[in-house]
Amino acid sequence: MDVLNSTGMADALREYVQRDRPFLGICLGLQLLFDSSEENGPVSGLGVIPGVVRRFDSSKGLIVPHIGWNALEITKDTQLLQGVDGHHVYFVHSYHALPSDANKDWISSICNYADSFISSISMGNIQAVQFHPEKSGATGLSILKNFLSANSSGAKAPARRKASKLAKRVIACLDVRSNDNGDLVVTKGDQYDVRDHTSSKEVRNLGKPVDLASQYYIDGADEVSFLNITGFRDFPLGDLPMLEVLRCASEKVFVPLTVGGGIRDFTDANGRYYSSLEVASEYFRSGADKISIGSDAVYAAEAFLQTGVKTGKSSLEQISSIYGNQAVVVSIDPRRVYVNSPEDVPFKTVKVSSKGEEYAWYQCTVSGGRDSRPIGAYELAKAVEELGAGEILLNCIDCDGQGCGFDIDLVKMVSDAVTIPVIASSGAGAVEHFSEVFEKTNASAALAAGIFHRKEVPIVAVKEHLVDAGVEVRV
């Protein structure tokens, strides 16, 4: 709003809307039509629609931001939303507009997340949606088509079952790096070791990043993540192929893209300094919806726990304050360490019934698992939530590539400890592992790599299994 006011765009937009010219607001583009918002404020909006935009209340354990696929309940017949009643669309926001008597004539659909909130408005030619049609797969594309061709009937998609909760997400992950020939490839490790166990010790090559990402989008992945796994040593802005991968992928993949690896301050060989914010901005400009920070978030959390002071200077804090915490994922790479008793370590432990040793803690690592740090996954998760992380990608080095299932103890411990969404990662080997992690933990999403790359389990089989198991997913 500051920018719109200072450039005169606020008045121009008000006048444009009053003249009933075609308008489609997306996410913040819906929120700024209201009287005011609590975000960084109160801040006055354009004042076109009566009402206040409020933060979701996480005090009663609600996971905030609201990230993922939620089903639309259409309350008014509109051209824009033809054929999509009950479909899942993609949301990513911490603030929401509440329905009231004063704005009820504007509302064209609502959605439920603890309370009902306004998911779209429509009045004459003025349309706005809280979700992201550009990231909502075929359903979102049909909504955009409806907006662009006012007379078209829109893509007639089959009616879907209505849903009432946020769907659990299935995420395909692509670990990307250059192989020994210098080609950027999708690789996959066993406990983070991505080299073949043959005499040549080549980096495993499981395909081309953009081809695989496009295929997973078509197969029904709810999100795609790229991890630039050598980012800790190869500066990403020097690694232009990775930016190119993002640009090409975002032209073909209409679900959210996350990219991680190498987000930190850096001085190149010519003495030019790049802030982590510049690195993240370049990733966003190239098509990323979220960035994921690994090593640098561990250092920031350690410093925060030591001093109790939020300096606002860490990459995590800076990127989150500029782009919003919904755009910042922290990727945790822990390794299980067994101990005899919880008193043996100053970190949160869990009881591991399957092992001889009774307890374990989960020691965080940096630089792709190479260096262990004096902080546990539980402590890290809580600290990064305070520093502004919007989501946690929870890997487990012991389980990575093993196909024996997610580390339920770890996922439960972390997902019970924070109120931001947790993505369970590492170890998926069968469809049952996905239902297990959703049934036994508070995870919002489950991520897999190897089983998809090796074509052992198609994404559609995972979704079908979850539907049969009574877990809500986007189909």
Task: Point out which residues bind ligand 1PR (CB under 6 A).
Answer: 173, 175, 188-189, 192, 194, 227, 229, 231-232, 260-263, 292-296, 331, 333, 368-369, 395, 400-401, 425-428, 448-450
The β-bridge relationship of strands 43-44 and 34-37 is antiparallel
Nearer to ligand 1PR, 209 or 294 (CB): 294
Cα–Cα distance for residue pair 143/153, rounded to 1 Å: 10
Nearer to ligand 1PR, 121 or 176 (CB): 176
Nearer to ligand 1PR, 71 or 448 (CB): 448
Nearer to ligand 1PR, 143 or 279 (CB): 279
**Active-site annotation, residues:** 27, 132, 134, 175, 333
Question: Shortest distance, CB of residue 197 to ligand 1PR, whole angstroms?
Answer: 15
Give the position of tokens 């007379």: 151
Contact 140, 154 (CB under 8 A): no
Amino acid at 366: V
Question: Shortest distance, CB of residue 319 to ligand 1PR, whole angstroms?
Answer: 12
Question: Shortest distance, CB of residue 190 to ligand 1PR, whole angstroms?
Answer: 9
Nearer to ligand 1PR, 45 or 369 (CB): 369
How far, in Å, are 141, 219, 226, 452 from residue 170 at the CA level? 20, 11, 14, 11
Which of 166, 191, 232 has the alpha carbon at shortest distance from 399? 191
Question: Shortest distance, CB of residue 307 to ligand 1PR, whole angstroms?
Answer: 22
Nearer to ligand 1PR, 34 or 226 (CB): 226
Question: Shortest distance, CB of residue 132 to ligand 1PR, whole angstroms?
Answer: 23
Nearer to ligand 1PR, 25 or 262 (CB): 262
Question: Shortest distance, CB of residue 188 to ligand 1PR, whole angstroms?
Answer: 6
Question: Shortest distance, CB of residue 185 to ligand 1PR, whole angstroms?
Answer: 13
Nearer to ligand 1PR, 332 or 418 (CB): 332
Nearer to ligand 1PR, 30 or 227 (CB): 227
Amino acid at 310: K
Question: Shortest distance, CB of residue 306 to ligand 1PR, whole angstroms?
Answer: 20
Q: Is the dihedral of CA 472, 418, 67, 407 positive or negative?
A: negative
Question: Shortest distance, CB of residue 259 to ligand 1PR, whole angstroms?
Answer: 10
Per-residue b or e along 437-454, where b marks 16 or more CB atoms closer than 10 Å to that residue's CB = bbeebbbbbbbbbbbbbe
